[in-house]
Structure 1
Amino acid sequence: MDLGIAAALGLVLGVSLLAVLAVKARARLALSRAKHRSLGGHSRLSRRIAALVPGYSFDDARFFRADDASAEVAGRRRAEFERLSRLFRTRYQRTLDQTKEAARHISDLQFTESYRVPFQFSRLARTSFPMGSFLASSEGVKVTDLDGNASYDLTGSYGVNLLGYDFYKACMDRGAERVDALGPVLGSYPSLVADNVARLARISGKDEVSFHMSGTEAVMQAVRLARYHTGRSHLVRLCGAYHGWWGDVQPGVGNPLPAHETYTLADMSEATLEVLRRRNDIACVLVNPSQALYPNHGAPADSTLVHSRPDAGVGRAAYAAWLKELRAVCSERGIVLIFDEIFVGFRLALGGAQEYFGVEADLVTYGKTVGGGLPVGVVCGHHRYMKRFRDDRPADVCFARGTFNSHPYVMAAMNEFLRHLDTPQMQALYRDLDATWDRRTAALNRRLAERGLPVQVTHLSSIWTVCYTRSS
């Protein structure tokens, strides 16, 4: 080959390679700009750092002065800590004894007990201030432990207890009576499933419904359907949002493997919208609407929405504006928008986050309270996204099954819950929901301020979060 031709071909190939690399570098830069600056926005980095953090514990002195408090304040903290420790050991002795014995064999108890406080405080908290995990009964919004102590249940069973425990007991009892003749027959449907589907379709504004065994499974199926119908690989989750413990939606700390087909991008960010506009590998965007209370920050837990940030929340109007922008870009780019309403469903409005924010999602997931006290996950969507097979390619299917999907007792308890939503009492409650909780929030904040306490609450309809207004 002539040297001139070879040189020309080499130049063309070199320029072509540089052009490809430039495009990839630009895409990578755009992706980096769309990540939140916190560790929560950098999943791989957070996992690497977490693996390197050594374990250590504060001694007794440092435990009470971790924020460089004065000796007088530290002394008051120690005295109150020791008083509560003595009180708990006396008042909750039977409950604590059973918890300690059971923890030897229940791995979940070992984990929660170790991580209920930051690890530096864990040793002293475990040895001096143990917490009980066993209960004997419930009534309304109170639970009673093995020692007969009744307490207000501020955990709400991780979001299940929306209407009081007596209501869910009734849902389960009445539901069980209605399907008792059928019993635990699986594979077919009890007749009341048709009513559940009709009610959920009306509430969600969608055509079709599928049932699953947990909220995590519902999210897994929603993402799988989005990938199946778009032919794209990646999901986008917004920084800080929780969507269950499936690996693809938990790419950071807690997942032993990296989630290679997940992008974690900043919430309420123009840079995120730009990534969605430019990339061709994004199948769906997952939104947990409760993030309006703490965009780009992780919720403490389903059971304790407590923050040390005085500026928690951006407000309904601001988050609605963001969701409308997100909806427009997803529609423009053929990206499936998924609202994960496992926790917030039925807490914001009868029609959920779609009604509350005025934005329609393509797929919606429900769970927790919709089961009427029993475990369940639900996916609602239009036919174009819910269909699991192709008429022209019969071997190309989107598989999803579960032995206990549509379990008769779960479906019956769910039906009791859904029917209750149509009662005049519930209709009236939903009509005045925001006004009611606005008044309650204002009244509580006023009383907290009058007493000089460094605590305020903010809310998203009936979902509250507690904010400490001073660092400590």
Structure 2
Amino acid sequence: MYTELAASVIGIYLVYRIFIRLRLSRAKHPSLRGHSKWSRRIAKQIPFFSYDQKYFFACDGAPEDIQQKRKAALEQLKNHANSSSPKTIAFLSQIKSSISDIIFTSAYRIPFPFRDVLHKELLLGSIVDESKGVQLKDIDGNWRYDLSGSYGVNVFGYDFYKDCIQKGAEKVQDLGPVLGPYHPVIQQNVEKIKKIAGLDEVSFHMSGTEAVMQAVRLARYHTGRSHLVRFCGAYHGWWDGVQPGIGNQRQVNDVYTLSEFSEATIKVLETRKDIACVLINPLQAFHPNSDGPSDSTLVASNRATHFDREKYADWLQRIRNICTQRNIVLIFDEIFTGFRLGYRGAQEYFNVQADMVTYGKTLGGGLPIGVLCGKHHLMKRFKDDSPAFVSFARGTFNSHPYVMGTMNEFLNRIESPEIQQHYSQIESIWNERVQRWNDKLAAKNLPIKIESMHTILTVIYLLPSRFNWMLQFYLRANNLELAWIGTGRFIMPFNVSEEDFENICDCFIQAVEQMQADQWWWQPENYSNKVIQRLMLNDILRAKFPILSKIISSPAAPVYKSDKETIKRVS
């Protein structure tokens, strides 16, 4: 009798555990992005392979005349780079092998199979020595409009930050780089940040990644729970504790990657007892459940955005309510969006108050910083009744006097009526500008569209193509400076004038027209993104399993011709 009872109890328990596991699985996004462990496993299995000269130009089935047009265009881009940027190319060639960031970004500007054929002159980055207005000058004397936004630092324009740095340094120059003691300017900084965040306490760190690490650590410390919830595609710095998928090798078992706008996700948050915190990157409102767009992954034309401010605000409010009910710490990672979306950042923009907020990028007035703000009981690093049970966190360069001085200048300036007026108008200004930009593109029948969230823009490609990543090189040749991720993200500062905007539009449209004329968007009949993705899968399988070369076409020749029947077989 007892044996049967025990077996029944065990059976019920196992059924319950399976039910709980299935509920968690349903809350994950169906893509590989939503399944971190599988994404790592599969990433390890994808081999490197390289398209040769022939296949590079003919991988979409282009006929010989189109191939020759593309070859000539690539040679022309190379010659332009060599003639306009000889000092930059020479300088980067000297330092490239010694700086690992350059090695990585040079290799990952484009999908890797195309890498070897592309000229090194096109893959290298920039060496700049001057900024002015919304432009940068490289060491060859070329002035380009900067669309990179310095990864989000540049909200108000480079002249604004140069002045912040200069005046901030003057405030603390008598002290110098003294570490440990605080300069008195820190008090005003803390009070201003607390008011902006709507929270009680502040800790300073050296980077956004470090601030996020501390937020998550304190949430676990005070809740006594093990797991973090992040949302599919969201970036929270390079720490593997918040990025358990591709790019990090440590086995991470304390992170749940769930799907946004999912009732299954809501159910998980309402029922699980092991969730310490929910980590939100408000930038995901631009492309929910998708990674940040980069040209290195642009193998087809399926980049998309789905920005709906009201819908995302409602979603965040639901998360807020559940976190309150379940004693889960709600953390806003505003490293990127803080001080851009509004004076109070995404909390103001979406009208949701977090328990903890991290800031970085622009808050240092142009100097490196990471800041964590939170409620008193969450920020405390020790427990009164367990004095040996602490959550230790320190940093040698935290609260560096020169950073504090520059931050103080920044915080004072953004309170000015001029900056506050910018905040009230900037989104409507850029919505109208993006509409004009798209009208110009449509009028010229160009296969490009610009989509935006506030002052953050991305390029959407309207025709299926394997060569969309080429646009970044045409843009550079037409005096537009991009980040290494290419056309995935344009970060526009508030100081772009109407004249600047018109010039940027003209440069952009000229680049798109040149790329179109050079036949990179030529298409065979019945071409689609699905066809392109299957071709890429064929190439991966052939490289991984050479025996399949007898079944799948060789990379030495086009995978298929441009005739209708062959394309039907491939698709």
Taking the aligned partners of 1:324 and 1:164, their CA distance within structure 2 comes to 33
Counterpart among 417, 434, 446 of residue 427 in structure 2: 434
Q: Distance in 1 between matches of 2:334 and 2:172?
A: 28
* Cα offset, 1:311, TM superposition: 4.3
Q: Which residue of 1 aligns with 2:530?
A: none
Kindly indicate whether the alpha-carbon contact (under 8 Å) linking 2:202 and 2:372 is maintained by their aligned counterparts in 1.
Answer: yes
Equivalent residue in structure 1 for 2:196, among 199, 203, 217:
203
- 1:224 equivalent in structure 2: 217
Q: From 431, 446, 459, give the equivalent of 1:466.
A: 459
Task: Calculate the aligned-residue CA RMSD, in Å.
Answer: 2.0
Q: In the alignment, is the contact (CA less than 8 A) between 2:129 and 2:138 conserved in 1?
A: yes
In structure 2, relative to structure 1, the CA distance for the partners of 1:252 and 1:338 (3 Å cut) is same
CA contact (8 A) 1:113 1:126 kept: no
Give the Cα–Cα distance (whole angstroms) in 2 for the partners of residues 185 and 196 of structure 1: 18
Asked whether the equivalents of residues 229 and 278 of structure 2 are also in contact (C-alpha less than 8 Å), the reply is yes
Separation in structure 1 between the aligned mates of residue 70 and residue 78 of structure 2, nearest angstrom: 12
1:146 equivalent to 2:146? Answer: no
Aligned pair in 2 of structure 1 residues 304, 26: CA closer, same or farther (>3 Å)? closer
CA contact (8 A) 1:307 1:466 kept: no
Partner AA of 1:452 in structure 2: N
Aligned to 2:172: 179
Matching of residue 99 in structure 1 with residue 92 in structure 2: yes
Instruction: Note if 1:88 corresponds to 2:81.
Output: yes
Is the CA contact (8 Å cut-off) linking 1:154 and 1:303 kept in structure 2? no
Q: Match for residue 42 of structure 1?
A: 35
Question: Counterpart in 2 of 1:342?
Answer: 335
1:300-319 equivalence runs, <5 A: 300=293, 308-309=301-302, 311-319=304-312
Residues 55-94 of structure 1: pairs in structure 2 closer than 5 A: 55-69=48-62, 71-94=64-87
Change (3 A) 1:316 1:74: farther
Residues 406, 308 of structure 1: alpha-carbon distance in 2 compared, 3 angstrom cutoff: farther
Residue 190 of structure 1 aligns with an amino acid whose one-letter code is H
Identity of aligned residues (%): 52
1:51 aligns with 2:44: yes
Contact 2:205-2:398 at 8 Å conserved across structures: yes
Per the TM alignment, residue 188 of structure 1 is displaced from its structure 2 partner at its CA by 1.5
Alpha-carbon spacing, 1:49–1:311, altered in 2? closer, same or farther (3 Å): closer
TM-score (norm 2): 0.78
1:213 to 199, 206, 209: 206
Cα distance in 2 between the residues matched to 1:365 and 1:147: 38
Partner of 1:5: none
Match of 1:4?
A: none
Q: 1:414 Cα shift?
A: 0.8
Corresponding position: 1:251 with 2:244: yes
Between 47-56 and 60-69, report the one with greater CA deviation. 60-69
Question: CA separation of 1:243/1:37 partners in 2, compared to 1, >3 Å: closer, same or farther?
Answer: same
1:172-217 CA-partner distances (Å, limit 9, x unpaired): 1111111000111111211111111111111111111111000000
Task: Name the structure 2 match of 1:369.
Answer: 362
Deviation at 1:469, TM superposition (A): 2.2
Structure 1 alignment gaps of length 5 or more:
1-7
How far the C-alpha of 1:73 sits from its partner, in A, is 4.4
Contact 2:155 2:362 in 1 (8 A): yes
| Cα deviation, residue 273, structure 1 | 1.0
- Structure 2 counterpart of 1:241, one-letter code: A
- Contact kept, 8 Å, 1:293 with 1:465, in 2: the verdict is no
Task: Measure, in 1, the Cα distance between the counterparts of 2:70 and 2:246.
Answer: 32
Which amino acid is 1:93 matched to? P
CA distance in 1, matches of 2:313, 2:405: 35
Q: 1:129 to 1:302 in 2, by over 3 A?
A: closer
Unaligned runs of 5+ in 2: 466-571
